[in-house]
Structure 1
């Protein structure tokens, strides 16, 4: 076996390649600040005011990164996420700014959820008497959010709320508004994970009561992920996502092999932060573990990777 492990021969027989074209860069646009805000639990990542978003997107484009995904932090939050789907809400403004400047040079994906826009922090409408997250009343709002993003210029919408029927509701809303050619990237297998902790600081999306276990998946379940993905595909999803990535490589592998669909994986905030923390301690070589981690996600079957390492990896590969 060692005959094929030396020099350029090693490169010739490599089974998996990881490139800049595989990367999607997450960005946080914050309506509550006039300057960039460092995220303490995610070294190197910032919440950006609207006037800095285009510069950050340009930097990603100059590095060859083909796509970004936008998350918004509004000034006003309420129980029904009023500021999630208006023409001049924060994500809609950011999308217009990026597309006006970069046009087709950057694929703009938008996260479609309610958790950043609600004062209770849950991903849907809540019955405040029972504290239950209500599935069907949420679907109409998700459709409005997705349509408003596409009207602003988004190329792909990515619903992440894990409401049953959300893909069908969004597909119907987009089609009714003549956006039948806009793809949907579904967070189809999104687990109730402890690895989301730093993201909640970044997106100001922590929940005020309960947890998200009634609508996000049990980490113990694998077959359920196949059912979730199949339902979303039948409802019109064009890309299927698994979130988180590293603890769920088996799920990425199963979904890719089962459906042969374009498959995304989200290398989430906790995965990013733990490697950054270990590297800061001098326990790990940051570049090597970053590359190995992202390569493993690609090897498992992901066609695209949402990762906070996107710019770091792009610089390394250059």
Structure 2
């Protein structure tokens, strides 16, 4: 019997050694492509652990200084700040109070690392309303889109004045990018950039985040966040935001919406980011604590997969730690 000829085409040749694999890698990670979400809680004097997010804390105004300094030293590209107030009301007035926790934290962080990385802020009402929705409610208890836009305009001006370099519009109100852009330009903040959470889905993966901000949500957000089954709608929302003046658009969550991310990345003329959300983080941490997966490899693979799908930047709670691995060359 004549043996079959040896294959001439051998893709495995380029996988033979770590150096070869590194040389031909199609998707690379860099610390500058990472953004660290950070929670700052009013009225605490030390970091407060978040039970459903092992390793993540609610920072005090003092402890956040070290956290952002560590991020800057690791080469992380930016930090996204979220505020956790002591009191809430129907209109989320803490969000537009210059002395509210998010705006105070923004000034603290901008003073600490504003020249080393991009200081970003979450522009949404959900952390500040007593009902937990991302906007103000009408007489029937529905989120009032246009009344909410007025609150977003006010928030934008306070956040920009506090030192935020990029405003993260995460509320999913129709027309929010245009409303905020007009407000910023009219008040002399033409250089403040807008990150639109364009394709933000009504996801089950936000649960731990709601613990982190101590959400008081009543009901759900399905009337304004996207249906998880809708792919084309995610792209449509991103294109609308670009037309309204968004400087960056984002897909959230990341891992379960890589198809949407790839669609947006293929069509967008502005940078496209993705948010690796709290549930994605906590699942890997929980599995690793049980010894079911290799934590470091899973973290790297998950972030690399998001980048491979088209994200220019990834918001991830592992940003500082991952940046450290990348700088050490131990990824």
TM-score by length of 1: 0.97
Residue 139 of structure 1 is matched in structure 2 by: 149
How far did residue 4 of structure 1 move? Answer: 1.2
Contact 1:32 1:73 (C-alpha < 8 Å) held by counterparts:
no
What is the DSSP-based 3-state SS (H/G/I as helix, E as strand, rest coil) of the residue aligned with 1:69? strand
RMSD: 1.0
| 1:62-115 Cα shifts (integer Å, max 9, x gaps) | 111120000001122000011101211111111111222223112100000000
1:263 alignment counterpart = 272
8 Å Cα contact 2:132/2:215 also seen in 1: yes
For 2:117 and 2:95, how far apart are their aligned partners in 1?
A: 23
Q: Tell me which residue corresponds to 1:247.
A: 256
Distance, in Å, in 2 between the alignment partners of 1:160 and 1:60 is 23
**Bigger Cα displacement from structure 2, 290-299 vs 50-59:** 50-59
Kept after mapping to 2: 8 A contact 1:38/1:46: yes
Q: Alpha-carbon deviation of 1:130?
A: 2.0
Match of 2:88 in 1: 77
Deviation at 1:300, TM superposition (A): 0.3
Poorly superposed stretches of 4+, deviation over 6 Å: none
Cα distance in 1 for partners of 2:82, 2:164 equals 12
Q: Which residue of 2 aligns with 1:274?
A: 283
- Separation (CA, whole Å) in 1 of partners of 2:113 and 2:247: 24
For residues 2-27 of structure 1, give each alpha carbon's deviation from its aligned partner in whole angstroms, at most 9, with x where no partner exists: 11112222222111101111100000
Residue matched to 2:315: 306
Count of residue correspondences: 316
Moved more, 240-249 or 27-36: 27-36
Correspondence for 2:65: 54
Among 56, 80, 99, the alignment partner of 2:110 is 99
2:296 alignment counterpart: 287
1:117-266 equivalences under 5 Å are: 117-127=128-138, 129-208=139-218, 210-266=219-275
Aligned counterparts of 1:265 and 1:103: Cα–Cα separation in 2: 22
2:42 aligned residue: 31
Q: Is residue 239–residue 263 contact of structure 1 (8 Å, CA) maintained in 2?
A: yes
CA offsets 1:37-81 (integer angstroms, 9 cap, x no match): 100000000001112211111011111112000000112200001
1:105-116 correspondence runs (5 A): 105-116=116-127
- Partners in 2 of 1:278 and 1:104 — Cα distance? 37
Structure 1 position 11 matched with structure 2 position 22 = yes
Secondary structure (helix, strand or coil) at the match of 2:62 reads helix
* Contact kept? 2:156, 2:167, Cα under 8 Å: yes
Aligned residue among 24, 31, 38 for 1:20: 31
Is the CA contact (8 Å cut-off) linking 1:191 and 1:216 kept in structure 2? yes
Q: How far apart, in 1, do the equivalents of 2:275 and 2:224 lie? A: 18
Q: Contact 1:193 / 1:219 at 8 angstroms: preserved in 2?
A: yes
The reply on whether 1:297 has 2:306 as its aligned counterpart is: yes
Deviation at 1:291, TM superposition (A): 0.3
| In structure 2, distance between residues paired with 1:228 and 1:103 | 31
The whole-number CA distance in structure 1 between the counterparts of 2:259 and 2:269 is 15
Question: 3-state SS of the aligned residue for 1:147?
Answer: helix
User: Structure 2: where are the runs of 5+ without partners?
Assistant: 1-10
Per-residue CA deviations over 1:261-293 (Å, capped at 9, x if unaligned) read 200000000000000000000000000000000
Check whether the contact 2:42–2:101 (CA below 8 A) recurs between aligned residues: yes
